[in-house]
Amino acid sequence: MTEQETRAAKAKTSSPFLNTAQAAFYIGLSKRTLEKMRVYGGGPKYRKHGRYVRYHIDDLNAWSEARCKTSTSHA
């Protein structure tokens, strides 16, 4: 493996970007729910890297934090 390939592999293992399946697992939703949220809105921010959809961990955390509730009456 070349030095460039080694650096790329190392960067990928510590990447803050998750694919749809990983992001869904991270926030406790189904992959299909995230896919629907991309179409209809209301989901976390995502990015397109070429043809690939990626979610940044900070965006997932911010989206989840924005949905914090202290009571069921605060819908």
For 41, the domain range is: 14-65
Report how many domains make up the chain: 1
- Alpha-carbon distances of 21 from 3, 33, 55, 70, 72, rounded to whole Å: 30, 10, 10, 29, 29
Q: With respect to residue 6, please indicate whether it lies within any of the assigned structural domains.
A: no
Q: With respect to residue 5, please indicate whether it lies within any of the assigned structural domains.
A: no
pLDDT at position 74: 64
Q: With respect to residue 71, please indicate whether it lies within any of the assigned structural domains.
A: no
pLDDT at position 54: 95
Q: pLDDT tens string for the chain (75 positions)?
A: 677 777 666 656 778 899 999 999 999 999 999 999 999 999 999 999 999 999 999 999 999 999 988 888 866
Global confidence as pTM = 0.77
Q: With respect to residue 21, please indicate whether it lies within any of the assigned structural domains.
A: yes
Q: With respect to residue 4, please indicate whether it lies within any of the assigned structural domains.
A: no
